[in-house]
């Protein structure tokens, strides 16, 4: 699984202009699911999301995780993260999970996240979403549960 994470001061997701998920300070995580991903990958990704130290401590160093700062976690499915972009000018999606498999793993990730962290918000799987955010820093990282990213040699 893949997560493009951004440290935010606020983030929200809307579907057809309706607000469906929002957080203040925390992490916006765009989630991509690949064909071979399993619940074990979702568990590993969640562990990293919650433990990743991207918030400043008293000395201004990135030493605190989202729980330590009382932050929220906004999870938004984004199949385009699993695109193969090695050649051409149009992405290929052979590395992305089928929609049914991706939905199952995304839903599993959300359930596990809600059990592990008090402030979880989500987008709507498969919907045309509008995501707004204020990236704090900016701070953005690419996390994945496999050794190589899609499109890597």
Tens digit of pLDDT for each residue in 115-151?
Answer: 999 999 999 999 999 999 999 999 999 999 975 544 4
Average pLDDT over every residue of 59-83: 96
149 assigned to some structural domain: no
Residue-level pLDDT at 147: 59
Average pLDDT over every residue of 31-57: 97
What is the full DSSP assignment across the chain? -EEEEEEEEEEEEEETTEEEEEESSEEEEEEE-BTT--HHHHHHHHHHHHH---EE-TTS-EEE-TTTTT-EEEEEE-GGGG-B-SSSSS-B-TTBPPHHHHHHHHHHHHHHHHHH-S-EEE--TTS-EEEEEEEEEEEEEEEESSSS-TT--
151 assigned to some structural domain: no
Q: How confident is the model at residue 48 (pLDDT cuts 50, 70, 90)?
A: very high
- CATH number, domain containing residue 130: 3.50.80.10
List the catalytic residues: 78-80
**Average pLDDT of the residues of the chain:** 94
15 assigned to some structural domain: yes
Average pLDDT over every residue of 70-90: 93
13 assigned to some structural domain: yes
Average pLDDT over every residue of 14-20: 96
Q: How confident is the model at residue 152 (pLDDT cuts 50, 70, 90)?
A: very low
Total of domains in the chain: 1
Residue-level pLDDT at 146: 77
């Amino acid at each position: 699984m893949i997560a493009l994470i951004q440290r935010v001061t606020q983030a929200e997701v809307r579907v057809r202009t309706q607000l469906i998920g929002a957080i203040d300070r925390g992490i916006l995580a765009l989630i991509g699911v690949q064909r071979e991903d399993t619940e074990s990958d979702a568990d590993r990704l969640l562990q990293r999301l919650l433990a990743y130290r991207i918030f400043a401590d008293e000395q201004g160093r990135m030493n605190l995780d989202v729980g330590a700062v009382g932050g929220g976690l906004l999870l938004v499915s984004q199949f385009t993260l699993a695109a193969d972009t090695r050649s051409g000018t149009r992405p290929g999606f052979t590395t992305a999970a089928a929609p049914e498999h991706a939905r199952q793993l995304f839903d599993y990730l959300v359930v596990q996240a809600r059990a592990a962290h008090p402030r979880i918000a989500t987008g709507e799987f498969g919907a045309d979403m509008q995501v707004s955010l204020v990236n704090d820093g900016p701070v953005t990282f690419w996390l994945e549960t496999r050794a190589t990213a899609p499109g890597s040699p």
